[in-house]
């Protein structure tokens, strides 16, 4: 008989807030700060340690999310001669029971709730500090919950974790989860606005510039704008963007980043130096040409390099990701959200609303600055179909934001274009390798057993197409 207590809905009640698990970021390692310790004997030091644990937890969620659907979106391959399941499980076989995008987010939400409760209990935390911490925590909660919604689609999900192991949090509809995500972002924004001048904990170095309540509020609005984009709420995207850090005159790399290091106990950047990771061959094959008609899009040159062609798992490999920010060192930061993405979000929203001139201005800013590509003139843009204009926007998202947020897959799913993602073909025989794409993940098996819903569609394997 299955041990149903292993269900994440139950497990999350016991998960640890330990920095030894999450990694030591920039403050002393307070070590075993458990949920129980934080609840029974909270102190300012343990609260600060736990808040840093939340930053590490969010970093882990983002990394796992991008690594998984980066393959679904044909941004990269993970090719290992000793382990073919990195391809068969990601691109061929049906998805059965999986805790992906479930256990991690709910563990993080449970930890967030413990931090919120401790902040209320510690009398020496000022009202401004409490508000700052709450605004930070609700922002992370919103993003963690939206990861669940993104990857389980119309199945719905719990919006919180249970207060006891005897009572499971109910599964709400997709619309109800979405409403809660937006409410949490707005609640976080409101609380950050009353958060004074500083947080009662130390941020990692790569959040410099966004490490006060006022500046982290811009990150909150940016993450909400991204969420609104995937809801197709285009006017709301444009309304949210002015409160972010979007800036046509700033560096496109400007933004919030997750920190990594090679210090003992901390996490390293898994996108760097992983010998089995290869760029999808279309990154260079589909690259547009610079003004000379010969040189590839500068992003293709900067982010990849050509390798001697070889074949593994039937896939013809031609390039790897190279030495660019996020890939060149184990301590490289990884983008959480940055200026270039926000400008492309604005282009996408303006395109959807028929604001062609505004969309073109943003597309040309990215083309010329990041890709060193010639600008598209207004007459050529007007002559394009809506499909062609959107294709151009998504091309620039692919080239600029590869492996930063799984956006290629998410964009194709949003527009009903999953069937446009390439299926690898054997260059020698021309045979289709049978690669598929998936619309969502099922619930974890143990969640299904615990709830007694094993026979429902939510708990059945997902077959790709």
Give the tokens for residue 286: 């589909």
Over residues 314-363, the pLDDT tens digits come to 898 999 988 776 677 888 899 999 999 999 999 999 999 999 999 999 99
Give the tokens for residue 327: 């890939």
Please tell me the distance from the alpha carbon of residue 71 to that of residue 75, in angstroms, as a whole number: 6
**Nearest-10 crossing angle of helices 127-152, 213-230:** 20
Q: Which residues are registered as beta bridge partners of 310?
A: 317
Report in angstroms the alpha-carbon separations of 29 from 20, 33, 271.
7, 10, 25
Res 24 pLDDT > 60 = no
Give the tokens for residue 74: 């044909």
Res 17 pLDDT > 90 = no
Over residues 107-137, the pLDDT tens digits come to 999 999 999 999 999 999 999 999 999 999 9
Of 131-145, 261-275, 301-315, 428-442, the one with minimum mean pLDDT is: 261-275
Give the tokens for residue 185: 């972002």
Q: Is 47 helix (H, G, I), strand (E, B) or coil?
A: helix
Q: Count CB-CB contacts under 10 A for residue 465.
A: 9
Q: Is 189 helix (H, G, I), strand (E, B) or coil?
A: helix
CATH topology of domain 7-263+336-459: 1.25.40
CB 345 within 8 A of CB 226: yes
Percent of the chain scoring above 70 in pLDDT = 91
Residue 230 or 33, more confident = 230
Instruction: Please give the DSSP secondary-structure letter assigned to residue 290.
Output: -
DSSP 305-316: EEEEEEEETTEE
The answer to pTM > 0.85 is yes
Mean pLDDT of all residues in 306-310 = 93
Res 34 pLDDT > 70 = no
The pLDDT of residue 66 is: 87
Indicate the average pLDDT of the chain.
89
Burial class (CB within 10 angstroms; exposed 0-12, middle 13-18, buried 19+) of 405: buried
Where is 97: in which H helix or E strand?
none
Res 256 pLDDT > 50 = yes
Please tell me the distance from the alpha carbon of residue 14 to that of residue 181, in angstroms, as a whole number: 24
Over residues 377-394, the pLDDT tens digits come to 999 999 999 999 999 999
Give the tokens for residue 138: 């609700």
Over residues 164-182, the pLDDT tens digits come to 777 899 999 999 999 999 9
Please tell me the distance from the alpha carbon of residue 188 to that of residue 223, in angstroms, as a whole number: 11
The pLDDT of residue 211 is: 97
Where does the pLDDT of residue 432 fall: very low under 50, low under 70, confident under 90, or very high at 90 and above? Answer: confident
Whole-angstrom Cα Rg for the chain = 22
Q: Where are the domains of the chain?
A: 7-263+336-459, 277-321
CB 429 within 8 A of CB 400: no
Over residues 450-463, the pLDDT tens digits come to 999 999 999 999 99
The pLDDT of residue 4 is: 34
Report in angstroms the alpha-carbon separations of 239 from 242, 279, 336.
7, 36, 21
């Amino acid at each position: 008989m299955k041990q149903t207590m292993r269900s994440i809905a139950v497990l999350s009640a016991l998960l640890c807030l330990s920095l030894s698990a999450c990694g030591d970021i920039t403050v002393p390692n307070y070590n075993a700060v458990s949920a129980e310790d934080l609840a029974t004997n909270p102190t300012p030091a343990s609260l600060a340690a736990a808040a840093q644990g939340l930053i590490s937890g969010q970093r882990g969620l983002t990394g796992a999310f991008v690594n998984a659907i980066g393959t679904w979106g044909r941004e990269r391959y993970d090719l290992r001669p000793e382990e073919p399941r990195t391809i068969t499980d990601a691109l061929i076989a049906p998805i059965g029971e999986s805790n992906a995008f479930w256990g991690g987010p709910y563990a993080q939400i449970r930890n967030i709730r413990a931090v919120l409760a401790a902040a209320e209990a510690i009398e020496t935390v000022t009202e401004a500090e409490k508000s700052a911490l709450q605004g930070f925590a609700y922002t992370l909660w919103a993003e963690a919950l939206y990861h669940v919604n993104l990857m389980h689609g119309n199945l719905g999900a719990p919006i919180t974790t249970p207060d006891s192991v005897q009572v499971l949090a109910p599964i709400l509809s997709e619309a109800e989860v979405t409403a809660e995500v937006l409410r949490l972002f707005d609640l976080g924004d409101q609380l950050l606005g009353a958060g004074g001048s500083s947080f009662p904990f130390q941020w990692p170095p790569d959040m410099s510039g966004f490490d006060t309540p006022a500046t982290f509020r811009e990150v909150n609005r940016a993450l909400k704008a991204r969420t609104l984009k995937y809801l197709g709420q285009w006017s709301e995207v444009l309304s949210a963007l002015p409160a972010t850090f979007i800036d046509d005159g700033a560096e496109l790399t400007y933004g919030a980043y997750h920190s990594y290091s090679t210090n003992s106990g901390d996490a390293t950047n898994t996108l760097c130096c992983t010998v089995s990771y290869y760029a999808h061959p279309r990154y260079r094959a589909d690259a547009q040409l610079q003004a000379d008609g010969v040189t590839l899009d500068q992003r293709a040159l900067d982010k990849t390099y050509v390798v001697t062609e070889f074949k593994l798992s039937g896939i013809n490999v031609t390039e790897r990701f190279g030495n660019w920010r996020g890939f060149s060192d184990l301590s490289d930061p990884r983008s959480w959200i940055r200026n270039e993405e926000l400008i492309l979000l604005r282009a996408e929203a303006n395109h959807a609303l028929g604001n062609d001139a505004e969309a073109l201005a943003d597309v040309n800013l990215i083309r010329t600055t990041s890709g060193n590509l010639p600008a598209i003139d207004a007459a050529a843009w007007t002559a394009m179909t809506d499909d062609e204009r959107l294709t151009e926007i998504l091309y620039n998202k692919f080239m600029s934001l590869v492996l930063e947020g799984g956006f290629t897959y998410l964009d194709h799913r949003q527009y009903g274009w999953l069937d446009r993602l390439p299926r690898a073909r054997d260059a020698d025989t021309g045979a289709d390798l049978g690669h598929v794409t998936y619309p969502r993940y099922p619930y974890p098996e143990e969640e299904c057993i615990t709830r007694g819903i094993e026979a429902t569609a939510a708990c059945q394997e997902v077959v790709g197409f």
